[in-house]
Structure 1
Amino acid sequence: MEEILKAITTLCIKVDSMDNEIQKLKSKASQQHDYKNAELRRSEDGKNLELKGDDGKLL
């Protein structure tokens, strides 16, 4: 019985550790996604300025 309890405890600890790793990976993926979207928006903003004729360059 004691061995079963030890095995269950070990399993629970490993599951908790895996859950923590999954949360870290999700957070990292979300941050990368946000960064990528910000880069795409900046690129679109620049294109919009060019379309309007105001590219920020002096003549």
Structure 2
Amino acid sequence: MTPDGARAHLYDRAALWAIGELRARDIVDAACAALVTGLDTPALRVLAACTYRASRRRIGPVR
């Protein structure tokens, strides 16, 4: 996957999660994939570091 593809995938996952179509753990997976392709921000690192169990508590609603 290219960095642009990973970015698009992450945006898609976030949009689907925001409307309740995905679990928080799916956002964590997309964040990990984005890091692997070379995308790197502090927020992306924090998101990718969430465990699946913690993702339900730590990833709050979109505001």
TM-score (norm 1): 0.33
Between 1 and 2, higher relative CO (CA 8 Å, sep ≥ 6) is seen in: 2
- TM-score of the two chains, using structure 2 as the length reference: 0.31
Larger radius of gyration: 1
Name the structure where helix makes up a greater proportion of residues: 1
